[in-house]
Structure 1
Amino acid sequence: MSLLVDSHCHLDFPDFSEDLDGVVTRANAAGIGLMLTIGTKLHAFPGVRAVAERFGNIYCSVGVHPHEAENDWGYAAETLVAETQHPKVVAIGETGLDYYYDHSPRDLQQKSFRAHCDAARRTGLPIIVHTRDADDDTINLLESELVQGPFTGVIHCFTGTRRLAEACLAMGFYISISGIITFKSAADLKQTVADAVPLDKLLVETDSPYLAPIPHRGKRNEPAFTRKTAECVAGLKGVSVEALAEATTDNFFRLFSKVPRAALLERAA
């Protein structure tokens, strides 16, 4: 079985508290050889890190979701940088802009986003970007931050326009696809992935416990379901699932270069 990576999940969330061991066991059985569990709140980060410490093939990121940007965390890159000294912390985020819900004021979302960009520059770790209904500001902010110094990252759970995809790809970013790609309503997204996102810039994810792919839609999502998303993306790209798995796994290790490849290979043995 070809090994896949779930590049974005939230295994510290209460949805998994009762059966996390079973979730990880099912993921391994489904050929999900590695998982990246994502930080969304600084005060909750110890729980994120604890999940990564508990399992050999799980790593984590540290960050503040745009929904949480209004919380007074100081907006200092140093706060994030300090946490990256841990060997299991391999990325910054998730961060970004969410103008759909506007749970935090937009100026504070932008301030938080810029602090994460600064942390990514300082550490050399990739940034994980959430963007919804904020294409122009996301592009402009990233472009302006890259002028200050290089960093790289991924647009996670991509559901944006082709213009957003092309702009982010031009900046060297990767594009990560969630179970939304399997939905009947995702025709535009499918076209963008098929035509505009090269295979060497693709990742796959669950964003679990949210966004379970068909045929699991409406249920709790979990990393084992990454394969359903991969199957859909492989069809759109005209390649086998094995080729898609090989490409997205290689892409993951190229982007998240702090993760030792042996973390995956041990599971393949």
Structure 2
Amino acid sequence: MAPEINGMLQKKRHYIDIGANLTDPMFRGSYHGKQSHDDDFDQVLKRATEQGVRKMLVTGSNLIESRSAIQLARNHQKLLYATVGVHPCHSFDIENSPNAEKYLQDLEALAVAGKEEGAVRAFGEIGLDYARFHYAPADIQRKYFIKQLDIAERLHLPLFLHSRDCAEDFEAILIPRLPNLPKRGVVHSFTGTLEEMQSLVALGFSIGINGCSLKTEESLEVVKAIPLDKIMLETDAPWCEIRPSHASSKFLKKGDQDVELPPMVKKEKFVMGSMVRGRCEPCAISQVASVVAAVKEITLDELCEMAWKNCVKMFGFDDDL
């Protein structure tokens, strides 16, 4: 029987959530600029650790969020770590800054300092997103993907990559850089085709899977084909929850302790200790793992062990549970 900690049964399985947007105001009770309920950030972390999450990468999406991610990592050492980078949908944060080159210099300095103190374990979220040109057009996205890869070549950190509907340009930009990016990285929140996945794996990249990666039957076939030594698990919280309409939902059985989450309430009826409906949390990684294991027809323990090893190896985490 598993040991008890503080009167609670410790879960045997353990997880690393490689993508959690914990700087999002939702985790402080604020939605679209309106405070809807009390700050429950500590409860979010508590639920995650009780579900078996032992480490989380807090995603940096621009300079401000990257600074905040590092501060969270400092405040919660051994549990939270940070990435530093500018998401393609935030490309105008650089372009419209008073001095774009200084913005990039500040970004690199932040990443270097964070790496040295052990808080920063990946450079990103960087890449391309051709599904959301209303945030930034393709040419601006490419411009700052390239400029951030210049930084990446000097940093020697694994990459935390974003690729959406852009496979041809994404690989065309990345491939010439590969000799100077020996640590490769992970393409997170993967929603591409089987051929795109196979190409990325052949280039040496790992694939991050969350609820958005498991929406359709076609997506499930892609996940089934990912080599076990290239798979990583994530939630992309507060986004990318598994919904009843998703193809993956049929693998989540009511009453299954492996996927059972705390009660959920609407934010308007918030009760401290409950999850908020529609706000994905890192504790939900157990559901992602359960679906992936079922799709790949392996045990949940086998999947968790491999995903853990993959993350420890890439991001230089210690192996302590």
Normalised TM-score (structure 2) = 0.76
Query: How far apart in 2 are the matches of 1:166 and 1:143?
Result: 14
Q: How far is 1:26 from its partner? A: 0.2
Q: Comparing 99-108 with 247-256, which one deviates more in the overlay?
A: 99-108
Q: Secondary structure at the match of 2:61?
A: coil
1:207-249 Cα deviation digits (max 9, x unpaired) = 0000112469861000000000000000111111111000000
Corresponding residue of 1:198? 227
Structure 1 counterpart of 2:315, one-letter code = F
Query: How far apart in 2 are the matches of 1:10 and 1:248?
Result: 20
Corresponding residue of 2:53? 32
Corresponding residue of 1:45? 66
1:67-121 Cα deviation digits (max 9, x unpaired) = 1112234245744543433311111000100111111122221122123323332
1:90 aligns with 2:121: yes
Query: How far apart in 2 are the matches of 1:111 and 1:37?
Result: 25
Structure 2 counterpart of 1:187, one-letter code = E
Cα gap change, 1:24 to 1:81, in 2 (>3 Å): closer
1:3 aligns with 2:29: no
Q: Are the aligned partners of 2:290 and 2:300 in contact in 1 as well (CA < 8 Å)?
A: yes
Q: Are the aligned partners of 2:156 and 2:181 in contact in 1 as well (CA < 8 Å)?
A: no
Query: How far apart in 1 are the matches of 2:245 and 2:224?
Result: 23
Q: How far is 1:164 from its partner? A: 1.3
Structure 2 counterpart of 1:154, one-letter code = V
Corresponding residue of 2:294? 235
Q: How far is 1:45 from its partner? A: 2.3
Query: How far apart in 2 are the matches of 1:240 and 1:147?
Result: 36
1:59 aligns with 2:81: yes
Corresponding residue of 1:244? 303
Summarize the alignment of residues 174-213 of structure 1 with structure 2, pairs less than 5 Å apart.
174-183=206-215, 186-195=216-225, 197-213=226-242
Q: Secondary structure at the match of 1:225?
A: helix
Aligned length: 259
The counterpart of 1:225, out of the listed 271, 284, 307, is: 284
Q: Are the aligned partners of 2:69 and 2:81 in contact in 1 as well (CA < 8 Å)?
A: no
1:99 aligns with 2:130: yes
Structure 1 counterpart of 2:72, one-letter code = V
Q: How far is 1:180 from its partner? A: 2.2
Q: Secondary structure at the match of 1:128?
A: strand
Normalised TM-score (structure 1) = 0.90
Summarize the alignment of residues 140-179 of structure 1 with structure 2, pairs less than 5 Å apart.
140-147=172-179, 150-179=182-211
Query: Which structure is richer in relative contact order (CA contacts within 8 A, separation 6 or more)?
Result: 1
Query: How far apart in 2 are the matches of 1:157 and 1:71?
Result: 22
Q: How far is 1:44 from its partner? A: 2.9
Q: Are the aligned partners of 2:189 and 2:213 in contact in 1 as well (CA < 8 Å)?
A: no
- Give the RMSD, CA atoms, in angstroms: 1.9
Q: Which has the larger Rg? A: 2
Q: Are the aligned partners of 1:120 and 1:151 in contact in 2 as well (CA < 8 Å)?
A: no
Q: Are the aligned partners of 2:20 and 2:237 in contact in 1 as well (CA < 8 Å)?
A: yes
Corresponding residue of 2:7? none
1:255 aligns with 2:314: yes
1:109 aligns with 2:120: no
Structure 1 counterpart of 2:54, one-letter code = G
Query: How far apart in 2 are the matches of 1:78 and 1:199?
Result: 32
Structure 2 counterpart of 1:54, one-letter code = N
Q: Comparing 63-72 with 219-228, which one deviates more in the overlay?
A: 63-72
Q: How far is 1:43 from its partner? A: 2.4
Cα gap change, 1:254 to 1:148, in 2 (>3 Å): closer
Q: Secondary structure at the match of 1:96?
A: strand
Cα gap change, 1:138 to 1:87, in 2 (>3 Å): same
Structure 2 counterpart of 1:135, one-letter code = A
Q: Are the aligned partners of 1:209 and 1:222 in contact in 2 as well (CA < 8 Å)?
A: yes
